[in-house]
């Protein structure tokens, strides 16, 4: 389709409404929706938000709208296509068996995430996740309760350890492991040969219990990667706790796409992609978020309780660039000529990568 023809459809379809008819609401073809999204301008959207243009006299799925209002009615800065950035475990079916259930958010549900897939799993007291291994590394965090994990090393030593809420484990690809309900840890260790066969490598980590890597009045972040948890060679993670009104500052990751799991609270993330595309969506507990490789993003706490979420990377370490820090490391005249900020304004910007901005 020629650019001229596209412009014509956008103009006719949205500004003059001749396609749908005045004052109507209808289900238009997907191609039309895409074209009108590209046509959104900041002034146009601001104006339209103030009148009845943004209302929908037709039917709406109110509960779904209430969950994600900014997906449906985006900020005027959103435009273009950044691909899927949201899914929820609560849209996937649970595979329920005696002893618990699993449900998954994989590439089938979130096609943009090609490096990390997630499983949310429940094991009732006393039941087992049967003996197995995977072709990919496994990184898991406990959301509730207690469990015992075992993992065998190629040299025949074995780790047997207990994990509780906020603890994680890391099982390298191919390493056989189990997850089970609890008995006596000492008895289980003794039964397989005690100290003699005890793994010299630690595969579990008390993530929630560790001291924050960085902390501000806006919240805290805990980073667990191969620097403080050597076995985590291929999966790095950060646990973010953002206070109401707080912000995980504008940043991007130069080494991997980001896969997120929202554990508590309400948040809103905006993701920026070249050239000039942006997408904003809301996130609630049990939702999964995705940020494409190198895409700029920030996450706001839009609720009145702490927003808690995981940032996960298929990488050996968490690396990020802070937009604030970049600006403050540049000669001020350069910033002024690019961003039209005067010297006073530049000096209100934090000079360090704070991760979570103070409130």
Q: Which residues are catalytic?
A: 311
Nearer to Mn ion, 73 or 234 (CB): 234
Nearer to Mn ion, 109 or 258 (CB): 258
Shortest spacing between CB 252 and Mn ion, in angstroms: 7
Residues 218/243, Cβ–Cβ less than 8 Å: yes
Residues 143-202 that bind Mn ion (CB under 5 A): none
Residues 315/236, Cβ–Cβ less than 8 Å: yes
Total residues in contact with Mn ion, by rule CB under 5 A: 2
> Which stretches does DSSP call E strand in 58-135?
86-88, 95-97, 100-105, 118-123, 128-132
Site track 311-330 with Mn ion (rule: CB under 5 A), x = hit: x-------------------
Residues 223-262 that bind Mn ion (CB under 5 A): 258
Q: Mind giving me the DSSP string for 252-302?
A: E-SS--EEEEEEESEEEEEEEETTTEEEEEEEETTEEEEE-TT-EEEEEE-
Shortest spacing between CB 297 and Mn ion, in angstroms: 6
Distance between CA 190 and CA 192 in Å, rounded? 6
Residues 178/172, Cβ–Cβ less than 8 Å: no
Nearer to Mn ion, 225 or 311 (CB): 311
Shortest spacing between CB 240 and Mn ion, in angstroms: 8
Nearer to Mn ion, 137 or 258 (CB): 258
Shortest spacing between CB 300 and Mn ion, in angstroms: 13
Collapsed DSSP state (helix, strand, coil) of residue 6: helix
Q: What share of the chain is helix, strand, coil (3-state, %, to 5)?
A: 20, 35, 45
Shortest spacing between CB 292 and Mn ion, in angstroms: 11
Residues 289/260, Cβ–Cβ less than 8 Å: yes
Distance between CA 356 and CA 359 in Å, rounded? 9
- For residue 179, give Cα distances in angstroms to 167, 187, 188, 189, 286: 14, 16, 13, 15, 22
Residues 274-313 that bind Mn ion (CB under 5 A): 311
Nearer to Mn ion, 258 or 282 (CB): 258
Shortest spacing between CB 235 and Mn ion, in angstroms: 15
Cis status, amide bond into 174, omega within 30 of 0: no
Residues 202/210, Cβ–Cβ less than 8 Å: no
Distance between CA 325 and CA 210 in Å, rounded? 26
- List residues near Mn ion by CB under 5 A: 258, 311
């Amino acid at each position: 389709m020629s650019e001229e023809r596209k412009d014509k459809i956008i103009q006719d379809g949205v500004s003059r409404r001749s396609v749908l008819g005045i004052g109507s609401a209808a289900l238009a073809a997907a191609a039309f929706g895409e074209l009108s999204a590209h046509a959104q301008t900041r002034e146009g959207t601001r104006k339209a938000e103030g009148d009845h243009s943004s209302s929908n006299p037709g039917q709406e799925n109110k509960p779904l709208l209430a969950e994600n209002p900014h997906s449906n009615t985006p900020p005027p800065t959103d435009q273009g296509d950044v691909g899927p950035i949201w899914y929820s475990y609560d849209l996937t079916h649970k595979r329920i068996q005696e002893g618990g259930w699993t449900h998954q958010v994989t590439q089938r549900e979130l096609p943009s995430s090609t490096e990390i897939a997630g499983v949310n799993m429940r094991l009732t007291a006393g039941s087992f996740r049967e003996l197995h291994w995977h072709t990919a590394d496994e990184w898991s965090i406990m959301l509730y309760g207690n469990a015992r994990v075992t993992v065998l090393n190629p040299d025949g030593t074995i780790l047997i350890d207990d994990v509780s809420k906020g603890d994680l484990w890391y099982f390298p690809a191919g390493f056989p492991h189990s997850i089970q309900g609890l008995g006596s840890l000492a008895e289980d260790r003794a039964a397989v040969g005690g100290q003699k066969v005890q793994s010299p490598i630690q595969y579990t980590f008390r993530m929630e219990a560790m001291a924050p890597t960085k902390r501000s009045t806006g919240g805290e972040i805990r980073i667990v990667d191969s620097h403080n948890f050597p076995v985590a060679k291929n999966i790095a993670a950060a646990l973010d706790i953002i206070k109401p009104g707080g912000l995980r500052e504008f940043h991007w990751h130069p080494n991997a796409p980001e896969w997120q799991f929202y554990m508590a609270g309400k948040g809103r993330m905006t993701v920026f992609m070249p050239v000039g595309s942006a997408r904003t969506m809301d996130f609630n507990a049990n939702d999964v978020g995705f940020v494409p490789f190198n895409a700029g993003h920030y996450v706001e706490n839009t609720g009145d309780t702490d927003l808690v979420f995981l940032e996960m990377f298929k990488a050996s370490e968490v690396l990020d660039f802070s937009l604030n820090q970049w600006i403050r490391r540049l000669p001020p005249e350069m910033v002024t000529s690019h961003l039209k900020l005067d010297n006073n304004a530049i000096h209100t910007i934090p000079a360090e990568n704070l991760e979570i901005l103070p409130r």
